[in-house]
A and B are shown apart, each in its own frame.
Chain A
Amino acid sequence: MKKTERRTCRLLPPLVLLLLVLFPGNCHAALDDGFAEGIALLASKSFAQKTEGAEKIAGSGDKRTDKVLRAFLDGQLYFTKEGQVLVYGVPGSDGLQVTDALIETPLGIMSADQLNKITINNQLRGQLKTLLARLSLRSADPAVRLAGVREMFADITPETAKVFDDLRQTEKDDRVREALLTALALAGVRSADLAERKKGLVTLAESLDPEVRNELTRLIGEEKDKTLLQEAKRSLGKIEAKLSWYAKLETVFFGLSLGSVLVLAAIGLAITFGVIGVINMAHGELIMIGAYTTYVMQLLLPDALGVALALSVPVAFVVAALVGIAIERSVIRFLYGRPLETLLATFGLSLILQQAVRSIFSPLNRSVATPAWMSGSIAINPVLSLTINRVTIFVFAMLVFAGLFLLLKKSSLGLQVRAVSQNRAMARAMGVRASRVDALTFGLGSGIAGIAGVALSQLTNVGPNLGQSYIVDSFMVVVFGGVGNLWGTLVGGLVLGVANKFLEPWSGAVLAKIVILVFIILFIQKRPQGLFPQRGRAAE
């Protein structure tokens, strides 16, 4: 009983659709009447009449159709008590913002008791959704058409398949055509005819759409034919294998994303720690300064968040580098050759910087806005989509790495830095001003930390404790990769990120981190110099 009921429900709207498709936009006047008639029916108390009204509106081809039906679905469609005018009512702070639905002119603010809401129930809601999906099939925008087809996947039957077949003939967009093919195959699988079912199954074997998976599961439960059952099972197996492959790919992506954050946070440390042998416990606070710079830049340019973010990169670099140079000149330069003392002094500095931020910006977290071009995601297929901000940060981390690498290998500053780190006395004898190089190197490392802060501001909240949460991780990455080796930091960070994400599903996030820490502790026992040890004299 229930099933036949569903059938008729499925049947009715497609017939309307059939009309829409077969007679697109002809005899406007007559259809316009349909719109008016439909609206008149909406005033009725009976839901059956309202349904009829909605269908009339949908069939009218009127420009306002989509908007009216959507407002109806959202419960924002009203009749005014005076004059029975159809209006949209958007809830505001002091009543409803009312707009005439027919002539689309604002009518100002009204209170709720001046209006009659057009009520809606669940059944009607479902029908409205289907109607809207059907309407969208005619949209000029391929993305809307695609969403429309997807929406219909659950409802398509062999009887309505003809419509999709017709649509497919005229469809120009590849992705929509593919979705239509899937829809047809779904209809085939639902058909009573064995040959049709077989044909449908063959097409569906490659699809990753969740609806296809549901359908196959249903088919396996109900199918009587042995060979077809086998076939369906194999298809489902294939799809599931593909899904798990994409799930792994997604984990790798998340791992690389986490890894790129680690690399960004650690690479500045790799310079100060690796190249000039200074343990900078205030490194995390330099990252924090970068993040707060982004926050301030967005405060200064509230209308252009994207520009503010882009500008933050150089500004954060300069601010953090200046703070770094100030730290080096005032404290660290007196402590060269005493790494453990440097650790203590910079820890003191980190406390001071944290408190300074707390005093200036308050101890509360600040949120930094994500510009439009960094939000959203790239859908590669129905199960795998990459969030754009993570992709951007990954690319950004790689660019920073490449830039730093080139700077150290190709520029004269890089040459001097390497010379001083390898043999300070000899470098000085050759005329390198070692103390200036120290300050610049420290400034460079600090500046990179500032840039890392800009990136981190897009992922987490900006607060006074931001730096602390990254400092231990950064040290782990540097030590794991091998001190004084940029490649080590890159590989170390990415490996740790990916490993962390692969451990997470079966151990939970916290345990994964513990496992990684224990692994690093054990790893250092085996290879005290990290993944890529320095060779030659510099090693001791």
Chain B
Amino acid sequence: MTHIARILKDDRPGAALLIMLLAASAVVPFCNLALAEGNPLHLPTYSMTLWGKYLCYALLAVSVDLIWGYLGILSLGHGAFFALGGYAMGMYLMRQIGGRGVYGNPVLPDFMVFLNWKELPWFWHGFQWFWFAALMVVAVPSALAFVFGRFAFRSRVTGVYLSIITQALTYALLLAFFRNEMGFGGNNGLTDFKDILGFSLQEDATRAGLFALSALALAAGYLACRLITASRLGMACTAIRDQESRLRFVGYRVENIKLWVFTFSAALAGIAGALYVPQVGIINPTEFSPLNSIEIVIMVAVGGRASLYGAVAGAILVNAAKSWLTVAFPDAWLFGLGALFVFVTLFLPYGVVGLIRKKGKRS
């Protein structure tokens, strides 16, 4: 405990963020559930769910910042881990529908009945239990990251090449999940969820719970990443980012360090996806699209890399801007978003956070 306190003492913005998240996890559900509709402090469910979504993206952005900002691995395929976590959760939610589907089949999800399948594919077994799905949310993305990373890091694929093969990875998964034969609902994906652990997803209380859970997960994820970056492992990571070959000559097993941190980051992304799906109510293959993964990287860049809290700020900023621009200027929002990316990379190499930090130093 004292260890954490000491680390947070050096990371004041981080500590502030954690306090804010903890407060939000209590206050926001309160404002939504306990205060009546007419109350000026009442928070509509819609905005609460929207913010819950932002927090999931923030967790994803933190996981990307861990490997990009501290380890120097630019993953253009982190959306794949996010989506895999989401699919694992989606499969659980699908199984929960049971006989309430359109076709009323107690075991098979609607799309399988539609495709005239007679029995559940083997990889759908076990997802009727929440604990199993929760395990898979972490296990599937980590396993993929582990296998992929083991190959890539051992053969010393670095820099731009690594970025491009991560992009190829998510692109391949995108194409694969679009296929009906894969057994994940084809291009419609998984949707029509009814309830989670017996709580209806339409209920405000369930939504509030999911929001609180997202906030807590982000806090926990942030803390875990901060613990890593503040440890000796974190120092090794930074060293790899700046001088990989030197660290290798000194005797560190660079590929192992990379592999474990990469796998951890993928697991975090999976958790973010699993929290995202019940709030949005759908998961489909477009989550795998390379553009999504690039957008996540952009969030980190906008917030400021190698600071973790910057990633959180970036995710919330970019997504809020996106929500606002798509409504306010539906035709021009891509102009705004594109201009934001160019502007940030040209003028704010350390993101919004860097700007604030610089101002702080000057004064």
Contact = CB atoms under 8 A, between A and B. Distances in A.
Interface in A338-388: 339-345, 347-352, 354-356, 358-359
B294 A347 contact: yes
B340 A520 contact: no
B178 A522 contact: no
A348 B157 contact: no
Interface string A498-533: 000000000000110110011011101110100000
Contacts of A341: 301, 345, 349
A143 interface: no
A472 interface: yes
A517 B169 CA distance: 7
A344 B345 contact: yes
A101 interface: no
B163 A514 contact: no
Main secondary structure of the interface of A (DSSP, over half): helix
A479 interface: yes
Contact of B334 (A351, A476, A511): A351
Nearest to B152: A525
B151 A479 contact: no
A345 B341 contact: yes
Contact of B298 (A347, A349, A518): A347
Given A340-B160, A511-B179, A355 B155 contact: no
Interface in A444-493: 468, 472, 475-476, 479
B159 interface: yes
Contact of B345 (A335, A350, A511, A524): A335
B151 A525 contact: yes
Given A344-B298, A344-B301, A472-B167, A352 B335 contact: yes
Nearest to B156: A528
Contact of A348 (B74, B165, B291, B338): B338
Given A524-B161, A525-B155, A352 B172 contact: no
B337 interface: yes
A475 B294 CA distance: 15
Contacts of B161: 479, 524, 528
B337 to A, nearest CB: 6
A331 interface: yes
Contacts of A528: 155-157, 161
Nearest to A327: B342
A279 interface: yes
B171 interface: yes
Contacts of A23: none
B346 interface: yes
Nearest to A513: B175
A138 to B, nearest CB: 55
Contacts of B159: 339-340
Contacts of B156: 528
B290 interface: yes
Contact of A517 (B171, B339, B344): B171
Give the interface centre of A344, A350, A513 by most chain B CB atoms within 10 Å. A344
A279 B297 CA distance: 15
B119 interface: no
B10 interface: no
Interface in A429-448: none
A352 B175 contact: no
Given A347-B298, A475-B164, A524 B157 contact: yes
B183 to A, nearest CB: 14
B340 A517 contact: no
Nearest to A334: B346
Interface in B319-335: 331-332, 334-335
A154 B342 CA distance: 68
A525 B147 CA distance: 12
Contacts of A331: 342, 346
Contact of A472 (B148, B290, B298): B290
Contacts of B334: 351-352, 354-355, 358
A514 B294 contact: no
B288 to A, nearest CB: 12
B160 A514 contact: no
Given A331-B346, A347-B294, A524-B161, A359 B331 contact: yes
Contacts of B346: 331, 334-335, 345
B193 to A, nearest CB: 27
Contacts of B344: 344
B335 A510 contact: no
Interface string B282-307: 00000000110010011001000000
Give the interface centre of A350, A513, A524 by most chain B CB atoms within 10 Å. A524
Contacts of B152: 525
A149 B176 CA distance: 49
A472 B76 CA distance: 11
B130 to A, nearest CB: 31
Interface of A: 273, 279, 281, 331, 334-335, 339-345, 347-352, 354-356, 358-359, 468, 472, 475-476, 479, 510-511, 513-514, 517-518, 520-522, 524-526, 528
22 contacts: A273-B160, A335-B346, A339-B160, A344-B301, A344-B341, A344-B345, A345-B342, A345-B346, A347-B298, A348-B338, A348-B345, A352-B335, A354-B334, A355-B334, A359-B332, A468-B291, A472-B168, A472-B171, A513-B172, A517-B175, A520-B165, A521-B169
Q: 3 shortest A-B CB distances, which residue pairs?
A: A348-B341, A351-B338, A355-B334
Given A345-B341, A352-B339, 10 more contacts: A344-B341, A351-B338, A355-B331, A359-B332, A479-B164, A510-B179, A517-B168, A517-B169, A524-B165, A525-B152
